[in-house]
A = this chain, B = another copy of it.
Amino acid sequence: MKRYLDPPENEWAALTIRPSSESKDIDARVRKIIDDVRTNGDKAVIDYTKRFDNADLTSLRVPDVEIMASPKMVSRELKDAIELARETIGKFHASQVITETATETAPGVKCWRKNVPVEKVGLYIPGGTAPLFSTVLMLGIPAVTAGCKRIIVCTPPDSTGSANPVILYTCSILGINEIYLAGGAQAIAAMAFGTESIPAVYKIFGPGNRYVTVAKQMVSLENIAIDLPAGPSEVAVIADETADPEFIAADLISQAEHGPDSQVLLVCSDQGLIEKVQKELHRQLADLPRRELAEQSLQKSRIIHLNSREEIIELVNEYAPEHLIIMCRDYGDAGIQVKNAGSVFMGPFTPESAGDYASGTNHTLPAGGYARVYSGLGLKDFQKRISFQEISEKGLKNLGPAIIAMAREEKLEGHGRAVEIRLSKITDNIG
């Protein structure tokens, strides 16, 4: 990691730049896959699965019997872990259920909103060597809690044509049994436009490689909603002299092991700590299975020393990290000053990996600076809000003249007349 000692504020922008990951080169390839799936349906999905996943499929849907067999493939220990995560994630997302009450905005004028589930949602779950069954929980739990009527999952098969059993098991405990064997851009296209087997959905959720990301962006321009713009994962750590360098190094590594385009940033007010963290990084990397990936990521990462708490918070808000770990004496106070971040981990015993799996918060978060404007996933992303208004005769007498005056000024005479024709039929003794 490169070190920066008390950089002046005009250098901060450069220090908070993410490693670039241009996607222009794959746009044309993704466009071709999307068009192909749109035109040729199942056949195209099956062809691409042969090509990219090396699997021969005759049908795309995972048979019920395979889902029912999945519990046998999962250890007791892992089942217990998944169950615990299901409970915490379930509790936190259930706490997001909101019933809004009506507001009388003027006498006789009542307005309210209703949260209604998005009827059809598609969850994309990456497969491969590290199947993300935790993402099944993070997407499936809010979808089920919101009451989405049709929840489908797409996940790529292994070369024998099977889905990962832990993914199947996790779906099954949430009651999700409509699972399709499809990965990459072809899965996104199938969920966006539908094929003979895979139904079109209204909104697509889930992480993936650059093909998946670009495909989601492309279909989002054509009537399909997507969860969040995606970017490589990242963490910022705020630390002072009270922080444990072993914890810091472990957190930095746990982020860096995601891959070479991940980024970590340590911002601290204690120079002595920097030495200790770097020593610890060296020690802890030694026997890490994904050492090579983590080292590549750390090479592009930064340690920044700043003297004041104010500067540290300001720089972090400018960076807008996906994950922010705060390990300093008064972490509660620092947390209150955070304005731009996806998810914040407070205090020494709250590692970022807790949020990835089991604290209860969602791990689908805005990276790449998107935390300035986007939120992590929550219940509301599986709902939409319909507004309602009900106006009484008295209410329309109150509002009517204002509506007519404004409509005329905007040259929309018909808008005013829809009010006038009603006012003409309201008897005088009302209101």
Q: Which residues of A contact B (CB under 8 A)?
A: 77-78, 80-82, 84-85, 87-89, 91-92, 95-96, 98, 100-101, 103, 105-106, 109, 111, 113, 116, 118-119, 129-134, 166, 202-203, 217, 221, 223, 225, 229, 244, 246-247, 250-251, 253-254, 256-258, 284, 288-290, 294, 335, 338-362, 365-366, 368-376, 378, 380, 384-393, 395-396, 399, 401-403, 405-407, 409-419, 421-422, 425-426
Inter-chain CA distance A418–B384, complex, in Å, is 37
Taking A247-B422, A353-B412 as given, write out 15 further A-B residue pairs in contact, using a Cβ cutoff of 8 Å, ordered by the A residue number.
A80-B405, A92-B103, A103-B360, A109-B360, A119-B339, A251-B418, A289-B411, A338-B386, A344-B387, A350-B396, A354-B403, A355-B387, A361-B388, A365-B387, A371-B386
Contact assessment for A289 and B359 in the assembled complex, using a CB-CB cutoff below 8 Å? no
- Do A166 and B409 touch across chains, with their CB atoms under 8 A apart? yes
A105-B88, A132-B410, A357-B407 are contacts. A387–B396 as well, Cβ < 8 Å?
A: no
Chain B residues, Cβ within 8 Å of A353: 403, 407, 412, 415-416, 418-419
Kindly state the separation between the CA atoms of A116 and B320 in the bound complex, as whole angstroms. Answer: 13
Residue in A225, A405, A414 with the greatest tally of chain B CB atoms within 10 Å = A414
Q: Give which listed residue, B103, B258, B354, B426, contacts A95 with CB less than 8 A.
A: B103
Which of A89, A105, A247, A411 has the most chain B CB within a 10 Å cutoff? A105
Query: Which chain B positions have C-beta within 8 A of A407?
Result: 353, 356-357
Q: Which B residues are in CB contact (< 8 Å) with A225?
A: 370, 373-374
Residue from B373, B390, B416 within 8 A of A202 (CB atoms):
B373
Contact status B289-A348, CB under 8 Å: no
A254 near B417 with CB under 8 A, answer yes
Q: Does A389 lie within 8 Å of B406, measured CB to CB?
A: no
- Chain B residue, CB-CB nearest to A293: B414
Asked if A351 and B418 sit within 8 Å, CB to CB, the answer is yes
A354-B403, A414-B250 known; A342-B373 Cβ under 8 A:
no
Shortest distance from the beta carbon of A125 to any chain B beta carbon, whole Å: 12
Among residues of B, the one whose C-beta sits closest to the C-beta of A348 is B422
Residue of B with least CB distance to A344: B388
Asked if residues A105 and B359 are in contact (CB atoms below 8 Å), the reply is yes
Residues A419 and B354 in contact in the complex (CB < 8 Å), given A109-B359, A359-B391, A361-B389: yes
